[in-house]
Amino acid sequence: MTGRVAIVTGAARGIGAAIAGRLAAAGHSVAVIDRREADTATTVESLHRSGARAIGIGADVADAGEVAAAVQRVEAELGAPVILVNNAGILRDNLIFRMTDDDWDAVMAVHLRGTFLMSRAVQSHQVAARWGRIVNLSSTSALGNRGQANYAAAKAGIQGFTKTLAIELGRYNVTVNAIAPGFIATDMLRETAARIGMEFDDYMAAAAREIPVGRTGTPDDIAAAAAFFVSEEASFVSGQVLYVAGGPKA
């Protein structure tokens, strides 16, 4: 399965960059989308060094106009996108009595609205091709997590969105699945550690002690799951949420 065009949002670093690398290694052309185009340079250069076709695009996934323009540019420069990984995300953690309207709205906009807008823009190309893959990034926080009412609600919403799209798009040979990462060593968790006043290494070590496999995850762990969902072998897997968390989750 080569020659397909993929979009990965939030791919300037961390999980998104790892997923972009795995898709490129599988022979796909990759559009790396992040808030600022300049931030995509490192990921794009790495993909180019591996021999992949890749471009970087700056876009706010919560802005319908910017999403439409980004997808149009992907089509013009790489071809019609039929693989979409919705990974873009932000944190605005706080307890409910301290959480502001902006904290709530910003997280909902990037995670939930962004996933909707990107999926809506790309599905037309998938339907036309009668083939497609959408992989949405949820989180174990969808099950509830102190200080993350906004994030948990958005990630739970993504799971419902995923299952609904799987029903709507399945007839067009488009699968839609979600990955729910647990503790993954990324800059986003560095922000969480800082918020609660812990050193990052101490925070991750404490988390590892509570994980059955005895370690925290890496971006490559999530990229491996995404690679499976995108593969031809996963064509009968749709509407699923895979918890990549080192142990069982509800």
- Of 139, 163, 165, the closest CA to residue 151 belongs to 139
Q: Cα–Cα distance between 94 and 92 in angstroms, integer? A: 7
Q: How far apart are the C-alpha atoms of 191 and 196, rounded to whole Å?
A: 9
Residue 2 confidence (pLDDT) above 80: no
Query: Which residues, in sequence order, are CB contacts of 92 under 8 Å at separation 6+?
Result: 99, 102, 103, 104, 106, 107, 150, 151
For residue 249, give the 3-state DSSP assignment.
coil
Cα–Cα dist 187/172, whole Å? 37
191 pLDDT band, cuts 50/70/90, is confident
This model's pTM is above 0.75:
yes
Q: Report the alpha-carbon distance of residue 222 to residue 246 in Å, rounded.
A: 11
Q: Would the pLDDT of 1 be above 60?
A: no
Average pLDDT over residues 5-22: 98
Locate all alpha helices (DSSP H) within the chain, ordered by sequence: 14-25, 41-49, 64-77, 101-107, 114-129, 149-169, 187-195, 200-209, 219-230
Q: Summarize the confidence of residues 142-168 as an average pLDDT.
A: 97
Pairing of strands 83-86, 174-181: unpaired
| Domain limits, the chain | 5-182+219-241, 183-216
Which run of H or E residues covers position 5?
A: strand 5-9
Catalytic residue among 151, 172, 203, 243: 151
Quick one: CATH architecture of 5-182+219-241? Answer: 3-Layer(aba) Sandwich (3.40)
pLDDT at 234: 98
Q: How far is CA 230 from CA 15, 90, 159, 164, 223, in A?
A: 16, 24, 17, 18, 10
The question of whether 172 is a catalytic residue gets the answer no
Is 90 exceeded by the pLDDT of residue 195?
no
| Token pair listed for 72 | 């149009």
